[in-house]
């Protein structure tokens, strides 16, 4: 489907597209012939693009999606699944999608899954770990692990259970059924369902709303939502943001300046809030 937005290609990749428009970075899996199943290379490219989006100061929101309108992502490419992971040109088996999941959670900007068609297996987990999911009416969701000899006991199980509840998450994994967009909306698995032809427009409208908001407030909220679930690693992320804010203060700069100027710091002038 033609986009009405003038997406600028930031970098050419083999298995994904990475583009930018108006504060939004779009990472799109470009393997529609296999419903956007991922190989180690797909994941490596997505990972690099996610890092580029993180470092790009123009980017406030990231969209994760798949090309073709028939699939968001159908998980790991079963044709290259080898002994201990997915095998790329270097013949090394990898489960590198787990690192990408962490990146999606850690990037201090909202990540929106724009889901048309299949979001299945490891592809389903990718949308689950995104901050928000907007689905087209043709979207279909599900896990296939126990059917095809795999499982994701990390975010794919525990975070899914936080999103839809324990009973529903167990049903999704144990039965390997497929759920339509309305089912997904009802169980809180997606934020909104729209006709396919409105998917990109609605996603961009949601992005525009977030881009109007305070980036620091969104950043703090994302790390706060994560902290509640991620234990010590979550606290580290939230605390890192607290340090960032403290570094911006005159009080913290006084400590730095005093050290550089080889004098005693004067912290007395800073307020001691009740
Ligand atoms: C999505 C399904 C239900 C769509 O069915 P439909 O519409 O009948 O289309 P098909 O004819 O089946 O598919 C069209 C073509 O696309 C190929 N294809 C589809 N999915 C894949 C895939 N995942 N890998 C390779 N090829 C795929 C079809 O073969 C077909 O090709 P042609 O036309 O040549 O015949 C249906 O396609 C389906 O069920 N797909 C498989 C879904 C699946 O089981 N995915 C894998 C699930 N497992 C994972 O994702 C692993 C999870 C994971 O990655 C992970 C988790 C935790 C820890 C580590 C890992 C890790 O492994 O990295």
Tell me: the pLDDT tens digits for 53-63?
Answer: 999 999 999 99
If one looks up domain 8-212 in CATH, what number appears? 3.90.226.10
Q: Using CA positions, which residue lies closest to atom 52 of ligand 1? A: 122
121-160 confidence digits (pLDDT tens)? 999 999 999 999 999 999 999 999 999 999 999 999 999 9
Within 8 A by CB and 6+ apart from 26, the residues are 7, 17, 18, 19, 20, 62, 63, 65
Question: In this model, does residue 98 exceed pLDDT 90?
Answer: yes
**What is the 71 CA–ligand 1 centroid distance (Å)?**
10
166 annotated ligand-binding residue: no
Mean pLDDT of the chain, nearest integer: 97
226-266 pLDDT, tens digit per residue, is: 998 999 999 999 999 999 999 999 999 999 999 999 999 99
- Tokens of residue 225, six digits: 């939502």
Contact partners, residue 272, CB within 8 Å, separation at least 6: none
CATH 1.10.12.10 domain position(s) in the chain: 215-261
Atom of ligand 1 nearest to the CA of 43: 63
Q: Is the distance from CB of 116 to CB of 196 less than 8 angstroms?
A: yes
3-state secondary structure at position 74: coil
Rounded CA-CA distance 218/207 in Å is 12
Distance separating alpha carbons of residues 114 and 258, to the nearest angstrom: 49
pLDDT in the model for residue 249: 97
- Spatial distance between the Cα atoms of 64 and 125, rounded to a whole number of angstroms: 12
Are the beta carbons of 174 and 30 closer than 8 angstroms? no
pLDDT tens digit sequence for 169-203? 999 999 999 999 999 999 999 999 999 999 999 99
Task: Tell me if 144 CB under 6 Å of ligand 1.
Answer: yes
Cα 112 to Cα 80, 94, 117, 184, 245: the distances in Å are 28, 26, 16, 16, 25
Is 28 one of the annotated binding-site residues?
A: no
pLDDT for res 215: 98
Ligand 1 atom nearest 178 alpha carbon: 3
Q: Is 121 annotated as a binding residue?
A: yes
Topology, domain 215-261: Lyase 2-enoyl-coa Hydratase; Chain  A, domain 2 (1.10.12)
The enclosing H or E element of 160 equals: helix 160-164
Strand ranges, E, within the chain: 8-12, 16-21, 24-29, 61-66, 71-73, 86-87, 93-94, 111-115, 118-120, 132-136, 140-142, 179-180, 192-194
Distance 113 CA to ligand 1 centre (A): 19
Annotation-wise, does 150 bind a ligand? Answer: yes
CA distance 18 to 8: 8
Q: Residue 32: pLDDT band by 50, 70, 90 thresholds?
A: very high
CATH 3.90.226.10-classified regions of the chain:
8-212
Task: Give the Å distance between the CA of 165 and the centre of ligand 1.
Answer: 25
Whether the per-residue pLDDT at 12 is higher than 80: the answer is yes
CA of 177 from ligand 1 middle (Å) equals 14
Length of the chain: 274
Q: How confident is the model at residue 80 (pLDDT cuts 50, 70, 90)?
A: confident
188 annotated as ligand-binding: no
Q: Which of 70, 76, 140, 146 to mutate to test the pocket of ligand 1 (most atoms within 8 A of CB)?
A: 76
At residue 29, the pLDDT reads 98
Residue whose CA is at the smallest distance from ligand 1 atom 48: 121
């Amino acid at each position: 489907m033609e986009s009405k937005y003038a997406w600028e290609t930031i970098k050419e990749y083999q298995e994904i597209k990475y583009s930018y428009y108006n504060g939004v970075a779009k990472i799109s899996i470009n393997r529609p012939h296999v419903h956007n199943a991922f190989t180690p290379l797909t994941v490596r490219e997505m990972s690099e693009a996610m890092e580029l989006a993180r470092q790009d100061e123009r980017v406030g929101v990231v969209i994760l999606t798949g090309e073709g309108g028939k699939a968001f992502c159908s998980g790991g490419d079963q044709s290259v699944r080898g002994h201990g992971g997915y095998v790329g040109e270097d013949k090394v088996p990898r489960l590198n999608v787990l690192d990408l999941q962490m990146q999606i959670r850690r990037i201090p900007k909202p990540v929106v899954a724009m889901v048309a068609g299949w979001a299945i297996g490891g592809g389903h987990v990718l949308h689950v770990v995104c901050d928000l999911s907007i689905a087209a009416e043709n979207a279909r969701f599900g896990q296939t692990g126990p059917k095809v000899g795999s499982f994701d006991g990390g975010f794919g199980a525990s975070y899914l259970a936080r999103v839809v509840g324990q009973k529903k998450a167990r049903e999704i994994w144990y039965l390997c059924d497929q759920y339509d967009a309305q089912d997904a909306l009802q169980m809180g698995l997606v934020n909104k369902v729209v006709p396919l032809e409105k998917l990109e427009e609605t996603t961009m409208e949601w992005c525009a709303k977030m881009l109007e908001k305070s980036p620091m407030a969104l950043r703090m909220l994302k790390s706060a939502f994560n902290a509640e679930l991620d234990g010590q690693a979550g606290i580290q992320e939230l605390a890192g943001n607290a340090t960032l804010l403290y570094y911006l203060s005159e009080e913290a700069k006084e400590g730095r300046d005093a050290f550089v100027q080889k004098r005693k710091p004067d912290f007395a002038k800073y307020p001691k809030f009740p």
